[in-house]
Amino acid sequence: MDYTYFYPTKIGEIVIRENGSGITHISTKACFVMDDSEVSETPLLKKAAQQIQEYLEGKRTAFDLPLSPEGTPFQKAAWEALLTIPYGETRSYKQMAEQVGNPKACRAIGMANNRNPIMIVVPCHRVIGADGKLVGYGGGLDMKRKLLEIEKGKL
């Protein structure tokens, strides 16, 4: 059974879902599609919400949560690579493509990031254009900017 719960945050309402063994989704309410999961707060969902709140307050730089994202092998490799980007740092799509062993896969990295089901914790917001510009983010560029500003201590 999957469980979903909604939490207010300073970046808007977020939705967190888990499958009994790990977090499967974290998104904004606006980007969330409800399914047949039960709306009920579990200890894992509560723990995830607490850690995200601490992150948004600038008090947490790493997460300690079991993750269970579903995706293709390439997407999972791309998401694993995202987890290696240190807090407060960014990488280009090209650097991420090189990290997963396919230097020409910049667009595929972008598509995998776009399908990242676990925003914030799997930090696709830390991937930027080669020229340093903010490009592409499922939660919108304003949200991406806010998350990066939190990590730089500016928000």
Assess whether 139 and 88 both reside in one domain. Answer: yes
Q: Is 31 a catalytic residue?
A: no
Looking at residue 31, its pLDDT comes to: 58
Q: Which run of H or E residues covers position 27?
A: strand 23-28
Any domain includes 67? no
**What is the tens place of the pLDDT at every residue in 86-114?**
999 999 999 999 999 999 999 999 999 99
Assess whether 50 and 84 both reside in one domain. Answer: no
Catalytic residue of the set 45, 96, 106, 124: 124
**Single-letter amino acid code for the residue at 97:** A
Looking at residue 136, its pLDDT comes to: 78
**Single-letter amino acid code for the residue at 63:** F
Any domain includes 92? yes
Any domain includes 120? yes
Looking at residue 133, its pLDDT comes to: 86
Mean pLDDT confidence for 58-78 = 95
Assess whether 78 and 142 both reside in one domain. Answer: yes
The number of residues making up the chain comes to 155
* Separation of alpha carbons 10 and 72, rounded Å: 32
* Separation of alpha carbons 129 and 116, rounded Å: 17
**Summary mean pLDDT of the chain:** 91
Mean pLDDT confidence for 105-131 = 93
Mean pLDDT confidence for 124-133 = 90
Structural domain boundaries enclosing 141: 73-151
* Rg, the chain, Cα only: 15
Domain total of the chain: 2
